Structure 1
């Protein structure tokens, strides 16, 4: 009986931690400890990954470090290889959709200080990458034909959006951007701004839940896969997030930050959870190297994963114990 009690106590204690769940080619989630698996979202949706992802390691003392993985060789962070979403970057990567790669900065990459000037030369084409593709995607987004943030890679999602525009404009639906298509698109849209070319999140931040409009709140939307750090109704910063798998869902509701752990290591899965901010039992907002490397081809075991290490480091420094967390659909 004593042994059973100790076992129950241990089971309760070690649940303060999350681990990534992989997606197999059949579309399900690979089973983790305890047989957990299955994603609550479409496997194929937004399969973007930062080319310069980091692998998180943990030393004997529990502090974490980073090991750079493929994608940093070009000297700078790479954007997503898939054109379904991406992070702000001055380097746009080429590669098959669903993968990532490193590439040299586009020769006409805009300068934030001087503003964006339209890139001269040929029109963007399928398979191309760079700021001109970002402009194409931003213009399509203005017409509600491209529902992700620009990535700089011209893949199948972009081609489908171009074909839709061509059909609407009475042009041949090829999915390729010829001179007539490019001219028609530019005539019907405005010149995109820097923020439109390099948005802070892959998808627009959702309208805040009413509970997010007062005080200091981490406003986390499952519909847009975004976290907005808000103070008195004003968005201070925003970032991409992902959530738990089907059988380990991220709890919804209003919570408070109970404690913070800069170099946290999961006691259940023995994996690093840097910049962890716990809000509901073992569920926390934290940086995920797996999310940074593989995007939405995985899920957590209930935590809210953030893939931008710089952003969550800044957020961790600002958030206080007791600040509110609202998770909503």
Structure 2
């Protein structure tokens, strides 16, 4: 396993690393820089080559030190931990969205005012990455393409928006969006919706 991989084995890797204190957030199944750093720290402690990737020796060593993760360890209901903010998020009013930690932070001048677990599009309908602006807000909206309800929509890239998803609230990460950034806490999102202005920055990053 290596940087950029996404699989259930990566989820298991993260859960096992979490058991022994090397990974301090909910497993996401995506192998990014945080996972690589955790693997490197594990390798250093065991005097293995510090590649940040998982070879057979590293995997077997980890298996020997951990137990099979439970369903709750693999997909916990707890809130995901925020990443260190992307540098683009440190100035102004920003919806700072991390694909790796699956989080959204509403930030003003570098301070996090509110944060959420979020869900993204599938491989066929990916959420676009980059720096955008909120170009319109709709308190109630129904997708013209997919005919699903999108309450508290903040559109930032053509049809893609941050919005509440009843499906995400019900099914969690078992599903995916059609490209939007799904939020599962409607009351908290309603508060942020009232604070965000058209023209505020949106940053979507790994």
TM over 0.5: yes
| Structure 2: unaligned runs, 5 residues or longer | 28-60, 69-76
Which structure is richer in relative contact order (CA contacts within 8 A, separation 6 or more)?
1
Measure, in 2, the Cα distance between the counterparts of 1:294 and 1:309: 15
Match of 2:125 among 214, 238, 248: 248
2:151 is paired with a residue whose SS is strand
Counterpart residue number, 1:143: 21
Q: Which has the higher helix share?
A: 2
Provide the aligned C-alpha RMSD in A. Answer: 3.0
Counterpart residue number, 2:159: 282
Alignment of 1:295 with 2:168, yes or no, is: no
Measure, in 2, the Cα distance between the counterparts of 1:325 and 1:174: 40
User: TM-score, normalised on structure 2?
Assistant: 0.67
1:110-140 deviation line (CA, Å, top 9, x unaligned): xxxxxxxxxxxxxxxxxxxxxxxxxxxxxx6
User: TM-score, normalised on structure 1?
Assistant: 0.43
Alignment of 1:214 with 2:91, yes or no, is: yes
User: Once superposed, which parts of structure 1, at least 4 consecutive aligned residues long, lie more than 4 Å away?
Assistant: 43-46
| Structure 1: unaligned runs, 5 residues or longer | 1-39, 47-83, 85-139, 150-163, 176-197
Match of 2:101 among 224, 232, 241: 224
Match of 1:312 among 171, 183, 189: 189
Name the CA shift for 1:297/1:314 in 2 (closer, same or farther; >3 Å). same
Q: 1:276 touches 1:284 (CA, 8 Å); kept in 2? A: yes
Measure, in 1, the Cα distance between the counterparts of 2:164 and 2:178: 14
1:264 is paired with a residue whose SS is coil
Count of aligned positions: 157
Structure 1 residue 310: deviation in Å? 1.6
Alignment of 1:1-329 (within 5 A): 41-42=6-7, 143-144=21-22, 147-148=25-26, 201-202=79-80, 204-329=81-206
